[in-house]
Amino acid sequence: MKINKNISKTSYFEYHLRQYQEPYRSTVALINFLKKRIPNQSFYILDVGCGGGANIHWLKKYFPKWRFLGIDTDREVLKIAKKMQKGKEGVEFREINFLESEDYFPKKSFDYINAIQFISFIDVDFSIFLEKALTLARKGIFLTSLFSEGWIEQYTTALDLKENWKGIYKIYSLERFRETLRKIGGNKLSLEYEKFDIDIDLPKPIKPKFGTYTEKTEKGKRLQI
């Protein structure tokens, strides 16, 4: 699986290390979503595209009985994950390409498949991810991504010419996502989701650079830019 991570190494590593200090709000929202739906039982979770492992770090705090295997194709960022969580019980990291997962894992090897901010930033369609993930998962999948509520999709290539960064951003159709689930599993699969509304103000960078910040609307809502 090819993932564009040509961002300067310093900025890229800082992004992953920073979340060990405080979870990103999207991670907090996911944890709150899961706490209402999945019990803290002894489940085995495959985290796809785990990066520096910070999401696993926070999930493990709220679900201590869960066991995690984090996989990624980036050897350098996996070093961060292994260093930051060295010796932590029930947490493992391996360099594995998810598209070749059938070479590593039998069917139904995991209770849940987790993919945080993953499918919008890879150069394959989400349907490929779903088929493979549903083959591996005994109970289900949880993920975060960018979706539109209609039949509109947008694929963007983002470039930061200063930091030599190139990345894919995809906004998928939620309706196509539902239809794809029906085609794969018929009535056996169901979809639950929540919109993400950020609850803190993110400052705009002093110097123009790639990143997220918020602006207030006239009604006091926050828009992520």
Residue segments in the chain with a per-residue pLDDT below the cut of 70: 1-12, 208-210
For the chain, give every domain's residue range: 9-194, 199-225
The confidence score (pLDDT) of residue 10 equals 62
**DSSP assignments along the chain, one per residue:** ------S-HHHHHHHHHHHHHS--HHHHHHHHHHHTTS-SS--EEEEET-TTSHHHHHHHHH-TT-EEEEEES-HHHHHHHHHHTTT-TTEEEEE--GGGGGGT--TT-EEEEEEET-GGGSSS-HHHHHHHHHHHEEEEEEEE--EESSS--EEEEEEETTTTEEEEEEEEEHHHHHHHHHHHHGGG-----------S--PPPSS--S---EEE-TTS-EEE-
Query: What is the pTM for the complete model shown?
Result: 0.89
The confidence score (pLDDT) of residue 11 equals 66
The confidence score (pLDDT) of residue 20 equals 92
Q: What CATH number is given for 9-194 in this structure?
A: 3.40.50.150
